Structure 1
Amino acid sequence: MIVSGSTSQALAGVLARELEEPLATVEYDRFPDGELLAAAPDVADRDIDRAIVVASTTSSDAHLEVLQLQDAVQEAGADEVVTVLPYMGYGRQDEAFEPGHPVSARAVARAVSTGADRVLTVNPHEDAICDFFEPAATAVDAADRLAEPLPEDLTDPVFLSPDAGAIELAETVRDAYGTGEVDYFEKNRLSGTEVEISPSDVTVADRDVVVADDIIATGSTMSEAVGVLGDRGVGRVFVTCVHPLLARNAVTKLSRAGVESIYGTDTIERQYSAVSVAPSIAAEL
Structure 2
Amino acid sequence: MIVAGSDSQALAGALARETGDTLAVAEYDRFPDGELLVEIPDLTDTTPDRAVIVAGTLSAEAHVELLQLQDAVREAGASEVVTVLPYMGYSRQDAAFKAGQPISARAVARAVSTGTDRVVLVTPHEPAIADFFDVPVDIVDAAPRLAAPLPGDLADPLFLAPDEGAIDLAETVKRAYGAGTTDYFEKERDYDTGEVTVTPSAAPVEDRDVVLVDDIVATGSTMSESIAVLNDRGAGRVIVTCVHALLARNARSKLSAAGVAGIYATDTVERDVSAVSAAPSVAAVL
Q: Which residue of 1 aligns with 2:207?
A: 206
Return 5+ residue gaps in structure 2 as ranges. 190-194
Distance 1:76 1:45 in 2: 9
1:222-241 alignment, distance < 5 Å: 222-241=223-242
Aligned residues of 1:157 and 1:181 also touching (Cα < 8 A): yes
Q: Deviations over 1:69-96 (max 9, x none)?
A: 0000000000100000100000000011
Distance 2:131 2:85 in 1: 15
Report the CA distance between 1:119 and its aligned residue: 0.3
Q: Which residue of 2 aligns with 1:142?
A: 142
1:101-180 alignment, distance < 5 Å: 101-180=101-180
Aligned residues of 2:93 and 2:104 also touching (Cα < 8 A): yes
Distance 1:261 1:23 in 2: 32
Tell me the C-alpha RMSD between the 2 structures.
1.5
Q: Which residue of 2 aligns with 1:46?
A: 46
Report the CA distance between 1:197 and its aligned residue: 1.3
Distance 2:33 2:89 in 1: 25
Going from structure 1 to structure 2, the CA distance change for 1:261 and 1:194 (only over 3 Å counts) comes to closer
35-44 or 156-165, which deviates more? 35-44
Report the CA distance between 1:196 and its aligned residue: 5.6
Q: Which residue of 2 aligns with 1:26?
A: 26
1:91-106 alignment, distance < 5 Å: 91-106=91-106
Report the CA distance between 1:226 and its aligned residue: 1.2
Report the CA distance between 1:136 and its aligned residue: 3.9
Distance 2:134 2:188 in 1: 41
Distance 1:171 1:158 in 2: 10
Q: Secondary structure at the match of 2:24?
A: coil
Distance 1:213 1:56 in 2: 18
Distance 2:102 2:196 in 1: 33
Q: Deviations over 1:19-58 (max 9, x none)?
A: 0000112110100011001111222412311100001000
Distance 1:73 1:188 in 2: 45
Q: Which residue of 2 aligns with 1:279?
A: 280
Distance 1:207 1:103 in 2: 42
Q: Secondary structure at the match of 1:91?
A: coil
Distance 2:160 2:39 in 1: 43
Aligned residues of 1:87 and 1:268 also touching (Cα < 8 A): yes
Q: Secondary structure at the match of 2:28?
A: strand
Q: Deviations over 1:100-129 (max 9, x none)?
A: 111100000000000000001111110011
Aligned residues of 2:54 and 2:84 also touching (Cα < 8 A): yes
Aligned residues of 1:187 and 1:198 also touching (Cα < 8 A): no
Distance 2:60 2:135 in 1: 23
Distance 2:46 2:196 in 1: 63
Distance 1:213 1:235 in 2: 19
TM-score (norm 2): 0.95
Distance 2:81 2:109 in 1: 15
Q: Which residue of 1 aligns with 2:5?
A: 5
Return 5+ residue gaps in structure 1 as ranges. none
Q: Which residue of 1 aligns with 2:184?
A: 184
Report the CA distance between 1:195 and its aligned residue: 5.0
Q: Which residue of 2 aligns with 1:69?
A: 69
Q: Is 1:258 the counterpart of 2:268 in the alignment?
A: no
Q: Secondary structure at the match of 1:210?
A: strand
Report the CA distance between 1:228 and its aligned residue: 0.8
Distance 1:259 1:278 in 2: 27
Q: Which residue of 2 aligns with 1:78?
A: 78
